[in-house]
């Protein structure tokens, strides 16, 4: 099974990306519109992706579970560098199947000061719409998406649950999006 898939749209020969990837490792492709969603965060505030359209790019970070080592490390990197990840031009939204109540404690314990959105019910529906829901485990794989102000995916990656990601890559993609804007 593949440990990670990046989707930069069509392959170099112009063909479509490999559709034989397992469920949960078929992220929405670069150039495609991002699926809209409405989810609650750790403070029970409602967020919609479309609410940022025309105003900010959005970095959407799916993770399997709160309180686990890799997830805590990845989100901790965002938190430590929040002023670099989030700006007047970019919003960070993280998403897992944990409840808003679990997210509240996780955010407090880890000092996470950005929205932790709950894809609790319908169970994993948003992760499914982004192509990163792992049906064998019932959680999101590690999916990351950078969505521009028009709601179009400009960066897309998906890793299996146990394979961490490089948050520095996300910063490079945010910078690239700002440069191309």
pLDDT 10s digits, 100-144? 999 999 999 999 999 999 999 999 999 999 999 999 999 999 999
**Is residue 177 annotated as part of the catalytic site, yes or no?**
no
Helix (H) or strand (E) holding 174: helix 167-180
Q: How far apart are CA 73 and CA 133, in angstroms?
A: 21
**What is the DSSP code string of 84-103?**
HHSBTTEEEEEEESS-HHHH
User: Domain boundaries in the chain?
Assistant: 19-180
Residue scoring higher pLDDT (179 or 103): 103
30, 60, 71, 161: the catalytic one is: 71
- pLDDT at position 2 over 50: no
pLDDT by residue (tens digit) across 23-32? 789 999 999 9
**How confident is the model over 83-100, as pLDDT tens digits?**
999 999 999 999 999 999
Question: What's the Cα-to-Cα distance from 104 to each of 31, 43, 60, 111, 144, rounded to whole Å?
Answer: 34, 7, 18, 10, 22
Look up the pTM and report it.
Answer: 0.88
Class of CATH domain 19-180: alpha beta
Handedness of CA 159, 162, 117, 80 (dihedral sign): negative
CB-CB contact of 167 with 74 (8 Å):
yes
pLDDT at 49: 98
Does the pLDDT of residue 181 top 80, yes or no?
no
Express each pLDDT in 30-85 by its tens digit. Answer: 999 999 999 999 999 999 999 999 999 999 999 999 999 899 999 999 999 999 99
pLDDT of residue 18: 56
Look at residue 6 and tell me whether its pLDDT is greater than 80: no
Helix (H) or strand (E) holding 58: strand 57-62
**Can you tell me the distance from the alpha carbon of 75 to that of 81, in angstroms, rounded to the nearest whole number?**
10
């Amino acid at each position: 099974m593949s440990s990670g898939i990046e989707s930069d749209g069509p392959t170099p020969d112009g063909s479509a990306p490999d559709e034989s990837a397992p469920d949960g490792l078929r992220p929405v492709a670069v150039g495609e519109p991002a699926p809209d969603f409405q989810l609650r965060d750790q403070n029970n505030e409602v967020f919609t992706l479309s609410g940022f359209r025309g105003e900010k790019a959005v970095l959407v970070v799916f993770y399997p579970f709160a309180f686990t080592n890799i997830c805590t490390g990845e989100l901790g990197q965002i938190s430590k560098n929040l002023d670099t990840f989030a700006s007047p031009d970019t919003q960070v939204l993280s998403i897992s199947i944990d409840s808003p109540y679990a997210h509240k404690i996780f955010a407090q314990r880890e000092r996470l000061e950005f929205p932790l959105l709950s894809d609790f019910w319908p169970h994993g529906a948003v992760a499914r719409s982004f192509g990163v829901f792992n049906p064998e485990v019932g959680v999101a794989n590690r999916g990351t998406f950078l969505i521009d102000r028009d709601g179009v995916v400009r960066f897309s990656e998906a890793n299996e649950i146990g394979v961490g990601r490089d948050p520095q890559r996300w910063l490079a993609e945010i910078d690239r999006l700002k440069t191309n804007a």
